[in-house]
Amino acid sequence: MATGDRGHAQPHGDGHSHAEGHAHGEGEEMSELSEMALRVRALESILTEKDYVDPLALDRIVQAYETKIGPHIGAGVVALAWSNPDFKARLLANANEAIGAVTEVDTLESDLVVVENTAEVHNMVVCTLCSCYPWEVLGLPPTWYKSAPYRSRAVIDPRGVLGDFGVTLPDDREIRVWDSTAYQRFIVLPERPAGTEGWTAPQLEALVTRDSMIGTGLARQPGRADDDAGGVHDAAGDDAAGARPTP
C-alpha cells in the first residue's frame, strides 16, 4: 500500500503540456491526488455506497453555486426594494417571505433579516464564529469574509475595516455590526444612490455590489467607472484589505 507521504508527490508541470514536458524513462506517468482530494473522494465513496448522497446530485449543487446562485440574486432583490416601496416594506418585515415570492430561492436554511442603510445608520455583517452567510442570495462567501482578521476586526474596529475597503463614512454616521448565526443571517439593503430617479429595476441592479450587501461597500454611483465608487470594485476581490493580517 502506498504511503500517504505528501512530501514525495511529484508536482506536475504547471503548463500541463504532457506532450514533451515529461520524460518517459520509467514508463507512463501515473496520477497523483492531493491529500484533500483523496479524503474527499473517500468520504464521497462511502456516502454514495450508503445511499446518503448521489454523485450526480452533488455535481448539480456545485454547478448551481458556481453559476446560478450568486450575488446577482441579492442585487435583484435590492433593486426591487429600491424601486418598489411596497416590496421594500415587506422585505424589511419578513425577508424570507418577500425573497421567496420574487426569486427561485426556496431553500432558505434559516431566518434572513434585511437591515437598511440610511443617512443615519450604516450596517455591516460579519460572522465572528465561523462564516454564516446568506448563501442562497449571495452565493458563497468571499475569502476575506471567512478570514480571522475580518471576523475579529469587524466588531472591534468597523470604521477601520471600512477604511480598508475604501469606504469612508461621515463621523456622525452610526455603524451597526450584525453578527450572523446559523439561525439568523443578515443582508444589508444599501442606500439607493442619488441621481437614479426613474431608473428601472434592472438598471438599478447593476449598481448593487456584493460588498454593498455585506456592508463593506456602498452601491456604485451612477455614471462613474467601477473603480471610482469608493473602492467598491477593489474590495470585491479576495485580496481585499479585510483579509490582510492586521492585528
Partner 1 sequence: MSAVEPGAARDSVDAVPGIPCDAEGPVFREPWEGQAFAMALTLHQRGLFTWGEWAELLGDEIRRAQAGGDPDTGETYYRHWFNTLERVVAERGVTSRETLTSYRDAWEHAAHRTPHGKPIELVAADFGDSRGTVE
Q: Show contacts with partner 1 in window 164-183 (CB under 8 A).
A: 181-183
Identify which of 45, 35, 39 has the alpha carbon closest to the alpha carbon of residue 4.
35
Nearest to 158 by CA among 133, 126, 113, 186: 126
Which residues from 140-159 bind partner 1, rule CB under 8 A? 140, 142-149
Q: What is the number of other CB atoms lying within 10 angstroms of the CB of residue 226?
A: 11
* Helical axes 85-93 vs 95-102, angle rounded to 10°: 130
Residues in 27-66 at the binding interface with partner 1, rule: CB under 8 A: 28-34, 36-47, 49-50, 52-53, 57-59, 61-62, 65-66
Measure the CA–CA gap between 131 and 9, rounded to whole angstroms: 32
Nearer to partner 1, 25 or 85 (CB): 85
113-121, 130-138, 156-164, 171-179 -> range binding partner 1 (CB under 8 A): 130-138
Among 15, 170, 245, 247, binds partner 1 (CB under 8 A): 245
The answer to whether 225 contacts partner 1 (rule: CB under 8 A) is: no
CA dihedral for 196, 198, 199, 200, sign (positive or negative): positive
Residues written for the chain: 247
Q: Judge whether 83 counts as a catalytic residue.
A: no
Cell numbers placing 53: 448522497
Distance of CA 90 to the CA centre of its chain: 24
Is residue 236 at the binding interface for partner 1, with CB under 8 A as the rule?
A: yes
Judged by CB, which is closer to partner 1: 110, or 176? 110
Closest CA to 71 of 232, 239, 245: 232
- Cell readout for 57 is 446530485
Where in 86-115 is the site for partner 1 (CB under 8 A)?
86-87, 90, 101-104, 109-110
Q: CB 76 → partner 1: shortest distance, Å? A: 4
Annotated catalytic residue 132:
yes
In the bound complex, what is the minimum distance in angstroms from residue 121's beta carbon to partner 1? 24
Q: Which helix (H) or strand (E) holds 74?
A: helix 71-83
Active-site annotation holder among 83, 127, 147, 212: 127
Give 174 or 226: the residue with its C-beta nearer to partner 1: 226
Catalytic residues: 127, 130-132
